[in-house]
Amino acid sequence: MSSNKKVLEVKNLAIDFHTYAGTVKAIRDVSFDLHQGETLAIVGESGSGKTVTTKTIMGLLANNAEVIGGTVELHGKNILKMNDRELQDVRGKNIAEIFQDPMTSLDPTMKIGRQVAEPLMIHQKISKEKAQKRALEMLKLVGIKDAEKRINDYPHQFSGGMRQRIVIAIALICNPEILIADEPTTALDVTIQAQILDLMKELQAKISTSIIFITHDLGVVASMADRVAVMYAGKIVEYGSVDEIFYNPQHPYTWGLLNSMPTLDTAKGELEPIPGTPPDLLDPPVGDAFAARNPYAMKIDEELEPPFFKVSPSHYAATWLLHPDAPAVEPPAEIQRRWKIYQDTFQIDSADLRVGE
């Protein structure tokens, strides 16, 4: 259950990558906040800037990255201004991350008990014996069977799902305030995926950790998130509660993502991919970056970048379609179906489904 207490605030973040081909404008004015105990999902296609955003929060940007502007504030302290020692203190203790591939996150030469215990010895300065005892408790908590026997095993002796549980144990051993989960279930089969997601929700409820969940899988978002930020070409283009994004989406890019997502109602062959490819951020387009792929694009989309329009106190979308002077458009049938569910569930007048301010 989330509270109103902000634990993290990202403001106007802009990041460039200097490459042989030129300067890539990877993150372009991204802002969001995170509240205690909530799960914020950041969704979008590959290359939209999801992982770069979270690497910035962890202070793990590549050497060719340059922060052009903005702040990342943890309890009022700007992470971007911290030195290496301060960042080491924050990582693991305040903010921890679960990466996509558990095998590359674990040291193949070190027993898993030692790997789980290590953050405690570093951040809380407790003895090896006490840390091992806590590590055993955490391994049991994340569902490692026969943990007493297996605490001295090496990573290669575990299945992919078990390795991901071990990575979660390492991330949560110091009870961090923020957990970043970057596509944590991509490499796992569907059954194990569901188990890992249930485990994360269960552990979150116990220790009130806030989660930033990075994914391109909207099905996972529906089951995990409280709020959703939709990213495209280095920018957030829509954000709102999980119900608002799934059932009252406003940005044509969000429409495209939802329209290409299989549901129980989807007939065979009905999925529609978003046409075209994301823009080259070596030379970002003028206006709305999604215009070239947007069947509803207007002339203004090629000339001016849209601001955020308010849909509700918690829901904003950056699309000129929400301007009071924009023509009414008929979105895909799947989006209209979702709007109808939203309208019936929340007893809203159909005229209020799309509101620009």
* pTM for this predicted structure: 0.90
Q: Answer whether residue 288 is part of any domain.
A: yes
pLDDT of residue 357: 41
Upper half-sphere CA count for residue 300 (Cβ side, 13 Å): 12
Tokens coding 90? 């924050």
pLDDT tens digits, one per residue of 205-233? 888 899 999 988 888 898 889 999 999 99
pLDDT, residue 267, reads: 53
Length of the chain: 357
Residue 72 counted as domain residue: no
Output the CA angle 278-72-98, nearest 5 degrees. Answer: 70
Which pLDDT score is estimated for 346?
A: 74
The gap between the terminal CA atoms of the chain, to the nearest Å, is 30
**How far are the Cα atoms of 44, 129, 138, 225, 230 from residue 187, in angstroms, in the given order?**
18, 33, 23, 20, 22
- Of 145, 175, 205, the last residue of a domain is 175
| Domain-ending residue, one of 127, 144, 175 | 175
DSSP, collapsed to helix, strand or coil, labels residue 112 as helix
Q: What would the pLDDT profile of 51-73 be if each residue is shown by its tens digit?
A: 999 999 999 999 999 999 999 99
Query: Radius of gyration of the chain from Cα atoms?
Result: 22
Residue 47 lies in a domain: no
Residue 163 clears pLDDT 60, i.e. is over it: yes
Tally of domains within the chain: 2
Domain boundary among 175, 204, 231: 175
Residues of the domain holding 267 = 258-352
Is 27:52 a contact under the CB 8 Å cutoff? yes
Residue 342 lies in a domain: yes
The more confident residue out of 60 and 357 is 60
Give the pLDDT score at 160: 85
Task: Identify whether 161 is part of a domain.
Answer: yes
Band (114; pLDDT cuts 50, 70, 90): very high
Which residue's structure tokens are 């809203």?
348
pLDDT confidence of 77, banded at 50, 70, 90?
A: very high
pLDDT above 80 (res 97): yes
Q: Is residue 142 part of a domain?
A: yes
The predicted structure's pLDDT at residue 354? 57
- Model pLDDT, residue 217: 82
Residue 48: inside a domain: no
Asked if residue 352 has pLDDT above 80, the reply is: no
pLDDT at 187 over 90: no
Residue 24 in domain: no
Residue linked to tokens 């207490």:
5
Say what the pLDDT of residue 124 is: 84
pLDDT tens readout for residues 331-351: 998 899 898 888 888 766 655
Which helix (H) or strand (E) segment holds residue 50: the answer is helix 50-58
